[in-house]
Amino acid sequence: MYYGSIRDVVNPLIVYLLNVEYYLNHCVFTINSTD
């Protein structure tokens, strides 16, 4: 039960971090290409 709730918190956090990383990489790529 305890590990289950940890997973419920960690999984969305990992997805959020991956989305942020993808967004930042996309912004950096766009800035570099416009330069």
Q: Given this model, what pLDDT does residue 27 score? A: 81
Tokens of 17: 């971090």
- The answer to whether the predicted template modeling score (pTM) of the entire model surpasses 0.85 is no
Q: What is the pLDDT of residue 34?
A: 64
Using CA atoms, how far apart are residues 16 and 23, in angstroms rounded to an integer? 10
Give the pLDDT confidence score for residue 14 in this predicted structure. Answer: 96
Q: Give the DSSP letter string of the chain.
A: -HHHHHHHHHHHHHHHHHHHHHHHHHHHHHHHHH-
For residue 26, give the nearest of 3, 34, 2 by alpha carbon: 34
Model pLDDT for residues 1-35, shown as the tens digit of each residue = 667 788 898 999 999 999 999 998 888 777 766 65
